[in-house]
Amino acid sequence: MARPSKAVSTSKGHRTKGEIEHREAAEKSLASGYALAERKSVQESPIAHAEFERVNKLLVAIGKNDALIEPIINRYCQMTAECADFEHKREMFSDNLEKLMDDEEMDSGQKFKLEAQMQRSILDVDKQIQAKRKMLFDIEKENCMTVAATLRAIPKAPASKDNPLLEALKNGTD
C-alpha cells in the first residue's frame, strides 16, 4: 500500500520550487478557509466541550482545523460525552449491585431476581458503551483517512503540458 503524500510544510526532500508552489496551491484549494466552530450542544456539555477544545487545539497545530470537518468533530465530541455518561451509569449499576449483594436482610429469592436484573442492566450499558466506542473509532479512522485522502489528492508533480508520446514521435521523425 502506498504511503499518503505529506503536506508541503512537513515534507523534506528533492522537490523543485515549481513542484512546491504547485503543491502549496493544491493544498490551499482543498481547504474552505473557515475555522471549525463548536455547536451549541457541544458547548453545553462539559465533557464534549473539553474534547472539542483538545481536538481543535491539535487540528490548529497541524493546520487542519477546517470547517469542512466541523460536523465530524462535533459529532465525535458529543459521542465522547455520551460514552462517558454510559460509563458513569455502568459504575453506578455496579455499585448498586455490590450494595445489593451485601444486604443480608433481603429475601434470597427477591435478592436473586434483583441481582439478575442489575447484571442485565450492566450488560446492556456495556453493549451501549461498546457501540459508542466503535462509532468513535470509526470517526477517528475516517477523520485520519480524510486528512490523508486530502493529501493524496494533491498531485505530486505539476501536470506536464507536453505529451511525452508526441514528443518522442516528433523527435523520432527529425
Examine residue 135 and state whether it is found in any structural domain, yes or no: yes
Total domains, the chain: 1
> For residue 174, is it within any domain?
no
Q: How far apart are CA 25 and CA 57, in angstroms?
A: 24
Cβ–Cβ < 8 Å for 137, 76: no
What is the extent of the structural domain holding 144?
A: 21-152
Residue 141 lies in a domain: yes
Burial class (CB in 10 A: 0-12, 13-18, 19+), 124: middle
Grid coordinates representing 106 are 433481603
Distances (CA, A) of 149 to 7, 56, 65, 115, 141: 11, 20, 15, 50, 12
3-state class (DSSP) for residue 65: coil
The answer to whether residue 13 sits within a structural domain is no
Is residue 2 assigned to a domain? Answer: no
Q: For residue 117, tell me if it sits in a domain.
A: yes
Which pLDDT does position 4 carry in this prediction? 47
Task: Tell me the Cα Rg of the chain.
Answer: 27
| pLDDT for res 134 | 92
160 occurs within a structural domain: no
**pTM, entire model:** 0.64
Grid cell, residue 117, equals 436484573
φ, ψ for residue 66, nearest 5 deg? -95, 145
Structural domain contains residue 90: yes
Please give the pLDDT value at position 3. 47
pLDDT of residue 74: 94
Sign for the CA dihedral angle at 133, 134, 138, 139 comes to negative
pLDDT tens string 50-98: 999 999 998 888 788 888 889 999 999 999 999 999 999 999 989 988 8
| Residues with pLDDT less than 70, the chain | 1-14, 30, 144-161, 172-174
Q: What is the pLDDT of residue 114?
A: 87
* Nearest in space to 6 (alpha carbons), one of 48, 61, 76, 62: 62
